[in-house]
Structure 1
Amino acid sequence: MYPVAIVGAGPGDPELLTVKASRLIKNADVVLHDNLVSDAILAISNGEKIYVGRKFGDTSDQIERQQKINELLASYHLQGKKVVRLKSGDPYIYGRAAEEARYLTEKEIPFQVIPGISAALAAANIFNIPITERNKSNAMLICTAHTADYSFEQLTGIAHMLKAGNTISIYMGLKSLHRIIPKLLEVCKDDTIPVTIASRVSREDQATLTGTLGTIQELVTYSDIQMPAVLLIGADPIV
């Protein structure tokens, strides 16, 4: 039987797929895909496509949804099909691949995980934002805005990393700026720290909004920047 392939689809541009990811998608009998996988990448496959994603504001039970996905992966595999579980970005960066990998391991079902370009790394390169640079930043922290919603202590820690000169990237943060920005300002005490919001990275309608900790919230209010978006804080774009 073929191993289940948990594949990173990257930010959306099919030309940014790895060669291996592209081959597996093309040859798949079944593709179980997330919400943010682009139509251009889905079009590579001639197999059956099953939507198992979750959109912003979805109130369905996440545990039940994940269990259903796990069971589908096992069921199609046991039918002898080439199964691809297709995730936007990289499977192990907010892609919940760990839950599926553990389930498959428990069921003794072979699988492989194919890396993809995560949105923060894609945005940094496409929009010329040096997230690490000699004598400026030697680290980049990847985090999620859910930290801002649920853990005051973790958000404070993130702010201290920014204050120390590191770059931070925040996924799913567009709707949480009112929680994130005040804490970063409270700790860093510097409203000139650069902020770039990168929207729909690598797609035809990609866009950025660039400001500072002191200006970005007002700029967003008067913009039409769209989700999905990733925040890159602490590094200036090269223009």
Structure 2
Amino acid sequence: MHAVAIVGAGPGDPELLTIKASRLIEKADVILHDNLVSNTILSINTTGEKIYVGRKFGDASDQIERQQKINELLFSYHSQGKKVVRLKSGDPYVYGRAAEEARYLKEKNVPFEVIPGISAALAAANIFNIPVTERNKSNAMLICTAHTADYSFEQLNGIAHMLKAGNTISIYMGLKSLHRIIPKLLEVCDDDTIPVNAASNVSRADQGIITGTLGNIEEQIKNSTIQMPVVLIIGANPIL
């Protein structure tokens, strides 16, 4: 039987797919896809069944039940001998919940492979010329989510101290949590000139970016029409 393919669709532009990802998508009998996978990527496959299993911001569905349903669908379609692709935006193992699906398939003795995709922060860094690591400026980048705002004091404090030490921070799904994250970063870093970049719909036709500082980014975003999904890159200036 074919191995289930857990595929990273990247940020949305089909030209940023790996060759392997593109081939697996094209040949799939069944594609279970997330909310942020672009229509242009889905259209690579013209014959297979496409099943939406995603979750949007604000959805009230039970995440555990939803994930269990996805797991069962993967197993069921594989058992029917179909070529199954589980298509995730970005990279499967960067906030893509691929671990839960991989463990389930492992328990069921279902062969699977995971195909990497370009994660939003890295795509944004390259598209908007933001060097997230640079000699004598930053030697590390930390990737975290908006749930940072709900972390323990020690965790959020540690993230802020990484920024203070000169490292770059990228925050996924952080647009609605800026009012909690920014004050902590300012408290620890005591520098309102640290650059903040808010990149929206990275790699798509309607992509955009707002560049500001810890001191003014909240006001800039408030006065903008920036659309989710947004990834924040803090601590590095774009090369303009």
| TM-score, L = length of structure 2 | 0.99
| Runs of 4 or more consecutive aligned structure 1 residues displaced over 4 Å after TM superposition | none
Q: Is the 8 A contact 1:149 1:176 kept in 2?
A: no
Q: For residue 27 of structure 2, what is the amino acid of its counterpart?
A: N
- Are 2:159 and 1:158 equivalent residues in the alignment? yes
Q: Is the 8 A contact 1:159 1:184 kept in 2?
A: yes
Match of 2:184 in 1: 183
Aligned residues: 239
| Distance in 2, Cα, partners of 1:231 & 1:172 | 8
**What are the residue-to-residue correspondences of 1:12-51 with 2, within 5 Å?**
12-46=12-46, 47-51=48-52
CA RMSD of aligned residues (A): 0.6
Q: Is the 8 A contact 2:161 2:189 kept in 1?
A: yes
Aligned to 1:71, the other structure's residue is in SS state helix
Q: For residue 197 of structure 1, what is the amino acid of its counterpart?
A: A
Aligned to 2:60, the other structure's residue is in SS state coil
Deviation string, structure 1 residues 135-186 (Cα, Å, up to 9, x no partner): 0000000000112124332111110000000000000000110001000000
**Cα displacement (A) at 1:72:** 0.1
Q: For residue 238 of structure 1, what is the amino acid of its counterpart?
A: I
Match of 1:113 in 2: 114
| Distance in 2, Cα, partners of 1:174 & 1:151 | 20
Q: For residue 10 of structure 2, what is the amino acid of its counterpart?
A: G
Unaligned 5+ runs, structure 2: none
**Cα displacement (A) at 1:99:** 0.1
**What are the residue-to-residue correspondences of 1:198-217 with 2, within 5 Å?**
198-217=199-218
Aligned to 1:210, the other structure's residue is in SS state strand
Aligned to 1:49, the other structure's residue is in SS state strand
**What are the residue-to-residue correspondences of 1:68-87 with 2, within 5 Å?**
68-87=69-88
| Distance in 1, Cα, partners of 2:231 & 2:142 | 13
Q: For residue 166 of structure 2, what is the amino acid of its counterpart?
A: G
- What percentage of aligned pairs have identical amino acids? 83
| TM-score, L = length of structure 1 | 0.99
Aligned to 1:95, the other structure's residue is in SS state coil
| Distance in 2, Cα, partners of 1:64 & 1:181 | 34
| Distance in 1, Cα, partners of 2:215 & 2:151 | 23
Match of 1:223 in 2: 224
| Distance in 2, Cα, partners of 1:51 & 1:105 | 23
